[in-house]
Amino acid sequence: MSVVNALVEIFQKSGFMSLSWQNWVMILVSFGLLYLAIVKKFEPLLLLPIAFGMLLVNIYPDIMADPLMMSSYEGTVDPNAHWYDAGVLRLIYAGVKSSIFPCLIFLAVGAMTDFGPLLANPVSLLLGAAAQLGIYVAFLIAIATKFLTFIPNFEPFDALEAAAIAIIGGADGPTAIWLTSKLAPQLLGPIAVAAYSYMALIPLIQPPIMKLLTTKKEREIKMDQLRTVSKAEKIIFPIVVTVLCVLILPSVAPLLGMLMLGNLFRESGVTDRLSDTAQNALCNIVTILLGVTVGATAEGKTFLDFKTIAIIIIGLLAFAFSTAGGVLFAKLLNVITKGKINPLIGSAGVSAVPMAARVSQVEGRKYNPSNFLLMHAMGPNVAGVIGSAVAAGFLLMTFGN
């Protein structure tokens, strides 16, 4: 064999020859996301692993190979294959598919969350509920896709798919993955990518909506300092929430239970080592595995179709309506309390913790530099986590088997 023949063969077997145009498009998309993560610093801890997973799978699709069809929805089963013949990211993806990663992330979020602002101002819980509006608007929009049958090759979303897409409006990645893997696992890739990407882009999505729905005077409102919350209150809260919410909606037990367990690690004061592990080492490990494998579900050939584009659009609308729901409800509370609530904290009711609360703080200071809304916004923000878990529990109870 001549050197030239060898080189030709290598070239023919290389990715340059085997990749489709969809893979090249997704490679460009991953470059864009890497740019946003590294240069613009948009939630790099999430966006960077997602973007890199996307890049890897589109350069080398077999990294997500699934010869046993463990979690793929297209292809054929290879009867001679073993589980270890699957692509390395496909094996790790089992943690997403089985809901282990989302639940572990909730444990970490619980350990990192201070429910003090929410306990000091329980009205925050209502803001966390109002900011779930986007979930139900997105559900209606997804169902309404049946009016789009004039688009060639477009199959409208069924009820289960619509419910899974709707949860993007909760702005909560782990909840979105958890519900989607139960109701419409075939859509896990686009829904997870949409949810996490929009969570990372919250500093871009929310401010225009917040500005549109509030007056300058409202944005300048300075809120009273929150009361100090006692240790006993903080310890009893996770236990009460677990008992109450799981009894009302049993299906929320895995997510809410882990969230509150993590919080109890933090607040009990007797499990500092566990709390530290959940907040740091465990959270970081699961974030890497979850991010890379979620990104790796965006393989061009299966990812780039009308349904994905529709999910991306509906997801954005869901985020927008959730933000609007929170802000409008905060405006209502501001009227009821005679000007004591800055409506900007309403947008933090979407559960992306702590990005959404940070946006409220930044926007508040733009209009009144002496304004510190962060702690006030943390209340609705952590309430949003509970709200989206309850909303997901309702959808699972309604549509689950």
Partner 1 sequence: MLNTLLTLAERKYISFGEALNISITGIVVVMLVLAFLAVLVLLLSKSIRAVEGAAKKKSSAKAVSANAEEKTSAPSKPAGTALPESASAGDLNLYNVDEKTAAVIMAIVSNESGIPLNRLLFKSIKAIENKG
Binding string, residues 212-231; x marks residues near partner 1 by CB under 8 A: -------------x-xxxx-
Distance of alpha carbon 310 from alpha carbon 145, whole angstroms: 9
Q: Which is nearer to partner 1, 3 or 247 (CB)?
A: 247
Closest distance to partner 1 from the beta carbon of 163 (Å): 8
Does 126 interact with partner 1 (rule: CB under 8 A)?
yes
Does 140 interact with partner 1 (rule: CB under 8 A)?
yes
- The tokens for 73 are 């929805």
Q: Are 293 and 96 in contact (CB under 8 A)?
A: yes
Closest distance to partner 1 from the beta carbon of 105 (Å): 21
Closest distance to partner 1 from the beta carbon of 253 (Å): 14
- Residue from 79, 82, 232, 273 touching partner 1 (CB under 8 A): that is 232
How many helical (H) and strand (E) elements, i.e. helices and strands, does the chain have? 22, 0
Closest distance to partner 1 from the beta carbon of 210 (Å): 21
Q: Which is nearer to partner 1, 54 or 395 (CB)?
A: 395
- The tokens for 199 are 């969570």
- The tokens for 133 are 């509006």
> Which of 38-46, 213-221, 308-316, 369-377 is the region at the interface with partner 1 (rule: CB under 8 A)?
369-377
- Residue from 8, 240, 309, 335 touching partner 1 (CB under 8 A): that is 240
- Residue from 245, 255, 294, 330 touching partner 1 (CB under 8 A): that is 245
Total number of residues that touch partner 1 (CB under 8 A): 52
Distance of alpha carbon 129 from alpha carbon 328, whole angstroms: 12
- Residue from 85, 220, 233, 276 touching partner 1 (CB under 8 A): that is 233
DSSP code for 279: I
Q: Which is nearer to partner 1, 106 or 237 (CB)?
A: 237
Distance of alpha carbon 251 from alpha carbon 95, whole angstroms: 19
- The tokens for 265 are 């690690």
Q: Are 119 and 126 in contact (CB under 8 A)?
A: no
Does 137 interact with partner 1 (rule: CB under 8 A)?
yes
Distance of alpha carbon 245 from alpha carbon 2, whole angstroms: 71
Does 269 interact with partner 1 (rule: CB under 8 A)?
no
Q: Which are the contacts of 324, defined by CB distance < 8 A and separation ≥ 6?
A: 133, 134, 209, 213
Instruction: Give the residue among 398, 359, 384 at the shortest CA–CA distance from 130.
Output: 384
DSSP track, 154-186 = PPPP-HHHHHHHHGGGG--HHHHHHHHHHH-GG
Residues binding partner 1 (CB under 8 A): 118-119, 122-123, 125-126, 128-130, 132-133, 135-137, 139-140, 143-144, 146, 156, 158-160, 162, 225, 227-230, 232-233, 236-237, 240-241, 244-245, 248-249, 370, 372, 375, 383, 386-387, 390-391, 394-395, 397-399
